[in-house]
Amino acid sequence: EGEWSSRIDDCKALVPEDKHTHYCQGVFPDCIGAQVIATFGVGFSFVYVDMDTSMSTTDAIAFFWGLLVPGGKLFFDDYGWEPCAGVKMSVDAAFPEDMRSVIQSHHTCIVEKPRG
C-alpha cells in the first residue's frame, strides 16, 4: 500500500537477487535481521536506506550502524523531502551535522562511519 507501492516480484525484475542483493518482505528489522547476518555476515560498506518513516529509519540506523565497516556509508533517501519528514528527523537525531553530507537537490543524505 502507499503512493509508491510495488510488488516484490516487480522489484526483483528490475534488480535481481544475487549474492550482494537480498529482498525480504515484511516489517524491518524483524523480517530480516538474523537472515542478513547469516547471508552477508558483518562488514557492510554501503547501505541504501529508503524507509520513508521516522521509526523505520531509526530502526535501520540502529541495525546497520554496528555492522558498518569504518569508512562505510549509510545513504538515506528522502532526506529533507517534506512527505517523508521523519527521515530527516531520525538522521539528524542520530548523527551530528558534521557527519552528514546532504545533497538537497536530490533529497539525500550520506553518513560515513569514522575510520579508526
Q: What is the per-residue pLDDT for 57?
A: 93
Residue type, 90: S
pLDDT tens-digit profile, the chain (116 residues): 556 677 889 989 999 988 777 777 777 777 776 666 666 666 788 989 988 889 989 999 998 898 899 999 999 999 999 999 999 999 999 999 999 999 888 899 999 999 97
pTM for the full model? 0.79
Residues 6+ apart with CB under 8 A from 50: 77, 78
Residue 103 half-sphere exposure, CB side, CA atoms within 13 Å? 9
Packing angle of the helix pair 85-94, 54-65 (nearest 10 deg): 40
Which alpha helices (H) appear in the chain, and where do they start and end? Answer: 8-14, 33-40, 54-65, 85-94
Q: What is the per-residue pLDDT for 7?
A: 85
